[in-house]
Amino acid sequence: MAELTYRNAVAYGIAQEMRRDPMLVMLGEDIAGAGGVFKTTVGLVEEFGPLRVRDTPISEQAILGAAMGAAMTGIPVIAEIMFSDFLAVCFDILANEMAKSRYMTGGQMTVPVVVRTANGAGSRFGAQHSQSVENWCMMIPGLKVVAPSTPADVVGLMAAAIRDPDPVVFFEHKSLLASKGEVPDGEIIDELGTAKILREGTDCTIAALAYMVPRALEAAEHLAGDGISAEVIDLRSLVPLDTKAILGSVEKTGRLYTVEENPRLCGWGAEIASIVADEGFWNLDGPVVRITTPHIPIPSADVLEDLTIPSTQRIYDTIKTTLN
Amino acid sequence: MSSEIPEELYDYSKREPRRPTPTDPEVDGYPIPMDVRRRLYQRQQELRQFEQRAYDLFMQNLVKGTSHLSLGMEAVSAGFAEALRPDDYTFATYRGHAHTLSKGVSPGGVMAELLGRENGILQGKGGSMHLTSVEHNMMGSYAIIGAHLCIANGTAWSAQMRGTDQVTVVFFGDGTTNIGAFHEALNFAAIWDLPIVFVCENNLYMEYTPIDYITAVEHPAADRASAYGLDRIVVDGNDADAVYQVATEVVGKARQGGGPSMVEAVTYRHGGHSRADPGKYRPPEEIEAWKNQDPIQVYHSRLLRLGLPEQDLIEIQQSVATMVDEATEFAKSGQPPSPELAMTDLWADGGSSWRN
Ligand SMILES: Cc1ncc(C[n+]2csc(CCOP(=O)(O)OP(=O)(O)O)c2C)c(N)n1
Ligand SMILES: [Mg+2]
């Protein structure tokens, strides 16, 4: 057992897999020499060499395209898109090509690509470097979507994503990079599509993702002081989605809150609310409440940014005032 | 007001026709063995007769959706295919019937795919614009302009990493040279020295607009090659021997580790852009001039000049006609895809489930 930062867990997880599979390669901007703009790939080029950890030009379509083409021939590839906002410039390759190639070729094509990208707000970077865009990917049939919240999950889900034969978008949250956690020794392989109940409770369920998970846990702690027992689920993976964990928890608690960093409209919580309305309706004792970023771009000034994304206080207040 | 605007600025059929460069008489003397030339003839016949049949089946409403034919452009596909090995990778656009057949994929399976039948090569799930056969290393037909140039770099990169000497050839249109992905792909291939050949089939039109009207240089691909350190190569795309000769050189270069090349093959489509398009935006004299330099006629005359008995050519035509008939029968005999197929093969586990 060692304590690692979320940032170091990224390289740690990738290294575990690159040692296991000599075919696994990686490409992206500034990932080799510089160790990544977020220092998430430090040490990899030194261990695996510049042919397996390769710096590219600022050509996001070329990066994802090359990743896809190599993967089509059986080479597993990790492609880094520096900021998730930049997925917009290569969305064609992601949404129209990788996601569809197996289906539209009648099952001929396999595309084992992991697209890693830095997601989320909290860095005062403004509207083009702070978005949470997991819902952009969730809506595309053919993409798996993962967003870990702890260093151990980074390592285990990274391994699962790399070993998965389908394209996986792996969201690393910028505001979690410095957070620390215990990572068990030895090989770690987690499972996609599995949520984790991080805190048990009986009065309400809080479903959260990535950076919203520690905030949901903090809010639950405060609520406990008021005699409210909240259960906190870390979804970890949006596609596949662990609906059993959510429905099972709601069956127990009768209330569901989602905590989403993505802007309001078509955020993943809307899909979960719809599933629970369909399949868990008779277990509900009150409305499903979504706690989200408002439907606005992320502002830059610290005061404004802090106002927009769900805070511990907002989660606490919302639950406190709506639970009964 | 509109009477003051010169008509040729929007009615392109009124523009000065762009005529083909006459066939180079020296090509007759290229050292291409006669068996290769026979195959080039046969391949062009296959592509021609297949596309004509696809068109007929359209008219009978058996081919649904859209399709983009390569009638008039057969020499490019045939010439390159002859220079490739079966394990080389190819990529095509939505105008990909010819390139799929040229890689040796079964014409019956392709025709069935056009008809949306379960015995189609994609089980009816891809259609005309996405023909693919991984088994033949025909790595797909792509319908969003530009992307597949980037993807093709990936198979070339893979061959380089695995240390095989496989070459990747990616076909695209003149219009594709104006999208960013084209430029990203060329720079990327150049810096990584990838074993890839970019082949621009310049048929003078981007869909319904003349390419010279919307492009900063005369030769949309070749005139950009120098920006990426590549040679400027323009070839007569209506002469299969000329294409074959160039293809042999650039494919050989890539195979020996000499890096990427780009070839611009100048050609013309006989019909419209796609099924719905009568192609009326082109000057009638232009269409006439290109039809008079039809690649199959050019080739037929050459083989006669080189002493091949006309009877041999007729026999090739007839055997191809039989093959196309058989392909049609195979396609028509296929069933519509069974409903379960709609929900299969999204994921590698064969299904499409996104939840537990
Ligand atoms: C990104 C994108 N923009 C526009 C289109 C619509 N479109 C389909 S084919 C085509 C023309 C392409 O011309 P060219 O590259 O010359 O190929 P050709 O059809 O002549 O073979 C256009 C604009 C598209 N498929 N993708
Ligand atoms: Mg064109």
Q: What is the pLDDT of residues B38-60, one digit of tens each?
A: 999 999 999 999 999 999 999 99
Judge if A122 and A173 occupy the same domain: yes
| Domain co-membership, A173 together with A220 | no
The CATH number of whichever domain residue A18 belongs to comes to 3.40.50.970
Task: Identify whether the C-beta of residue B252 lies closer than 8 Å to the C-beta of residue B37.
Answer: no
For residue B41, report the phi and psi dihedrals to the nearest 5 degrees.
Answer: -65, -50
* Boundary residue ending a domain (A183, A208, A241): A183
Backbone angles phi, psi at B141, to 5 degrees: -120, 130
Q: Is A129 one of the annotated active-site residues of the chain?
A: yes
Q: Name the residue type at position A177.
A: L
Q: Which is nearest to A62 in space by CA: B228, B252, B253?
A: B228
The reply to whether B164 touches chain A by the CB within 8 Å rule is no
On whether the CB atoms of residues A16 and A188 are closer than 8 A, the answer is yes
Chain A to chain B Cβ contacts (< 8 Å):
159
Domains and CATH numbers, chain B: 31-322 (3.40.50.970)
Kindly state whether residues A277 and A130 are assigned to the same domain: no
CATH code of the domain covering residue A247: 3.40.50.920
Residue by residue, DSSP assigns B226-268 as GGGT----EEETT-HHHHHHHHHHHHHHHHTT---EEEEEE--
Q: Which DSSP letter does residue B2 get?
A: G
**Residues A213 and A153 occupy one common structural domain:** no
8 Å CB contact of A141 and B150: no
| Chain B residues in contact with A25 (beta carbon < 8 A) | 161
Distance (angstroms) between ligand 1 centre and the Cα of B201 equals 12
Report the alpha-carbon distance of residue B327 to residue B312 in Å, rounded.
Answer: 23
Q: Are residues A217 and A293 in the same domain?
A: yes
Q: Is residue A190 part of a domain?
A: no
Provide ipTM, 2 decimals: 0.97
Cis, peptide link before residue A310, omega less than 30° from 0 = no
Mean pLDDT of A227-236: 98
Shortest-distance Cα residue to atom 10 of ligand 1: B207
> What per-residue confidence (pLDDT) applies to B3?
63
Overall average pLDDT of the B328-335 stretch: 98
CA separation (Å) from B141 to A102, A104, A275, B155, B339?
Answer: 13, 11, 37, 14, 24
**With bands split at pLDDT 50, 70 and 90, how would you rate the model's confidence at A196?**
very high
Q: What is the pTM of this model?
A: 0.98
Is A142 found in the same domain as A6?
Answer: yes
What is the pLDDT averaged over residues A156-165? 98
Within an 8 Å CB–CB cutoff, is residue B155 touching chain A? yes
The answer to whether B229 touches B193, Cβ cutoff 8 Å, is no
Nearest to B119 by CA among B110, B130, B128: B110
Ligand 1: residues with CB < 6 A are B 68, 93, 95, 143-145, 172-176, 201, 203, 205-207, 273
Q: Which of A160-174, B4-18, B74-88, B278-292 has the lowest mean pLDDT?
A: B4-18
Give the SS3 label for residue A3: strand
A271 to chain B, closest Cα gap in Å: 12
Tell whether A296 is covered by a domain: yes
- The secondary structure of residue A241, as a DSSP letter, is B
pLDDT band for position A324 (cuts 50, 70, 90): confident
Classify residue A54: in a domain, yes or no: yes
Residue range A77-115, pLDDT digits in tens: 999 999 999 999 999 999 999 999 999 999 999 999 999
d(CA B184, CA B232): 18
Cα B293 to chain centroid distance, Å, stands at 18
**Which of A156, A183, A210 is at the close of a domain?**
A183
Atom 17 of ligand 1, residue of closest alpha carbon: B173
Mean pLDDT to the nearest integer, A283-302:
98
For the segment A147-159, the average pLDDT, to the nearest whole number, is 98
Is it the case that residue B5 has pLDDT exceeding 90? no
Residue closest to A155 by CA, chosen among A113, A188, A198: A188
Q: Where are the beta strands (DSSP E) in chain B?
A: 89-93, 138-142, 168-173, 196-202, 205-206, 209-210, 234-236, 261-266
pLDDT tens sequence across B177-226: 999 999 999 999 999 999 999 999 999 999 999 999 999 999 999 999 99
Strands (E) across chain A are located at 2-5, 25-28, 53-55, 77-83, 113-119, 144-146, 168-173, 180-183, 196-199, 204-208, 230-234, 237-239, 256-263, 289-293
Q: Which of B154, B348, B355 lies closest to A110 in CB terms?
A: B348
Q: Are residues A266 and A204 in the same domain?
A: yes
Q: Which of B106, B52, B70 is nearest to B330 (CA)?
A: B106
Whether residue A169 is found in the same domain as residue A213: no
- Residues of A within 8 A of B140 (CB-CB) are 101, 105, 109
Residue B87 predicted with pLDDT over 60: yes
With a cut of 70, say whether residue B1 has pLDDT above it.
no
User: pLDDT band for position B2 (50/70/90)?
Assistant: low
Indicate if A116 and A213 belong to the same structural domain.
Answer: no
The residue of chain A nearest to residue B137, with distances taken between CA atoms, is: A73
SS3 content of chain A, % helix, strand, coil (to 5): 40, 20, 40
- pLDDT at residue number A87: 98
Residue A217 lies in a domain: yes
In a domain, residue A189? The reply is no
Q: Is residue A301 part of a domain?
A: yes
Q: Which ligand places an atom closest to the C-alpha of B207?
A: 1
What's the rounded Cα separation, in Å, for the pair A170 and A158? Answer: 8
Write the pLDDT tens digit of every residue in A41-79. 999 999 999 999 999 999 999 999 999 999 999 999 999
Residue after which a domain boundary falls, among A131, A149, A183: A183
**Band of the pLDDT at B275, cuts 50, 70, 90?**
confident
How high is the mean pLDDT of chain B?
Answer: 97
Residues A179 and A208 in one domain: no
Residue A188 in any domain: the answer is no
Q: Which domain holds residue A277?
A: 196-322
Residues of A in contact with B125 (CB under 8 A): 103-106
A45 strand-pairing partners: none
- Same domain for A143 and A266, yes or no, is no
State the number of CA atoms in the 13 A half-sphere of B90 facing the CB.
33
Together in a domain, A173 and A218: no
Number of domains in chain A: 2
Measured between beta carbons, the chain A residues lying within 8 angstroms of B185 are 61-62, 65
Whether A7 is covered by a domain: the verdict is yes
Longest Cα–Cα distance in chain B: 69
Output the pLDDT for position B64: 87
The answer on pLDDT for B289 being more than 80 is yes
